[in-house]
Amino acid sequence: MSRPNTASKTTNKDVRIVEIEENADQQRVDNYLLRVLKGVPRSRIYRMIRNGEVRVNKGRVKPTRRLEKGDLLRIPPVVMLEAGEVPDSAIVKHGYLLDRVIYEDDGLLAINKPTGLAVHAGSGIAYGLIELLRKIHPAGTNLELCHRLDRETSGLLLISKKRLYNRYLNKLFKQKTNSNSGISKCYLALLKGRVEKNIKIEHKLYRQGKHDGERIVVVHPEGVAAASTFRPVSWPAKLTTLCEVDLHTGRTHQVRVHAQSMGCAVAGDSKYGDKRFNRKMSEVGLNRLFLHAYRLEFNLPDNGKLLQLEAGIPDDLDRVLQALNDTK
């Protein structure tokens, strides 16, 4: 199957009928379109599906419909802003990303994502980490995100180089984690207040919509199941706790909202945090969210080997901890 050409701006004026090949068998319609129409906004793709512009075997479909080998997929005319839209200056600026790859094999790479960089392009964001890597890494357009991290969060991010790995890891991230069959995820977070013992939070989370253009998540009985365990590691200052946070599920803003729900907001959190506490943290040099994807453990799909990955605490967060310890 041919990919869109690499011109910076491409217009497909005609309807395309694509026969689904084996490598796309059982892939969801929305995910397939997001893959082959790189550069088309997500909102446009979902609108095409919702309006019936996208059809499978001449019938309307939902985004979750699984494609099968031999299906005939109708793709309407679209304007695509390709990965080539990433300016040369951005490629030069972010060339350091290859130095942040901490693990790589034939099917997978793990990168220590810096704070402030979105994982992908989106509303108001011209490009993200995945678009940059597709330009500077030899695997190019074969690279696909296996999961997401908030823009403000730093740490471990998995990116597949082969579809087998992408499907496998997507499945793992959807399972209840920290189990023998799932993936173990641990974050480091600096919290307001003193947490004296391990606390497991199982409040359901609900996406309330958007406020000022951003998603807001709240604790709500009609939300989806979510579970996090906060384990205190140290107390850098009288009213702060450094915690390891085990995520048993993977919901949007899970650590941040669960921390807020127990009255211990994450330091530097401008959306769910405590403004007064954040001002105090800025006085010791914290100018970002103190949340870091610290450790991942899972079995590889080809040989079953346990892979243990760790991204040490970033220098800027370590300096904050040292400054807090100096105030004791």
Confidence band, pLDDT 50/70/90 cuts, at residue 108 = very high
Tell me the CATH number for domain 9-81: 3.10.290.10
Report in angstroms the alpha-carbon separations of 156 from 83, 89, 265.
Answer: 23, 25, 22
Nearest to 3 by CA among 54, 43, 38, 41: 38
**Range with the lowest mean pLDDT among 30-34, 60-64, 83-87, 235-239?**
83-87
Confidence band, pLDDT 50/70/90 cuts, at residue 213 = low
Confidence band, pLDDT 50/70/90 cuts, at residue 122 = confident
Residue 98, helix vs strand vs coil? helix
* Predicted local confidence at residue 175, as pLDDT: 77
265-302 residue pLDDT tens: 999 999 999 999 999 999 999 999 999 999 999 999 98
Nearest to 220 by CA among 261, 172, 248, 162: 261
Q: Which residue has the higher pLDDT, 223 or 87?
A: 223
* Predicted local confidence at residue 43, as pLDDT: 79
pTM of the predicted protein model: 0.74
pLDDT of 154 strictly over 80:
yes
Class of domain 182-326 (CATH, top level): alpha beta
Please provide the size of the chain in residues.
Answer: 328
Report in angstroms the alpha-carbon separations of 328 from 15, 240, 323.
Answer: 67, 11, 9
pLDDT of 5 strictly over 80:
no
pLDDT of 159 strictly over 50:
yes
Q: Any idea which residues carry the catalytic annotation? A: 150
Q: Do domains 88-171 and 182-326 have the same CATH topology?
A: yes
Confidence band, pLDDT 50/70/90 cuts, at residue 3 = very low
Residues 38, 83 contacting (CB under 8 angstroms): yes
* Predicted local confidence at residue 35, as pLDDT: 86
Report the distance separating Cα 33 and Cα 12, nearest Å. Answer: 14
Tell me the CATH number for domain 88-171: 3.30.2350.10
* Predicted local confidence at residue 121, as pLDDT: 85
Give the mean model confidence (pLDDT) for residues 129-154: 94
> Domain spans of the chain?
9-81, 88-171, 182-326
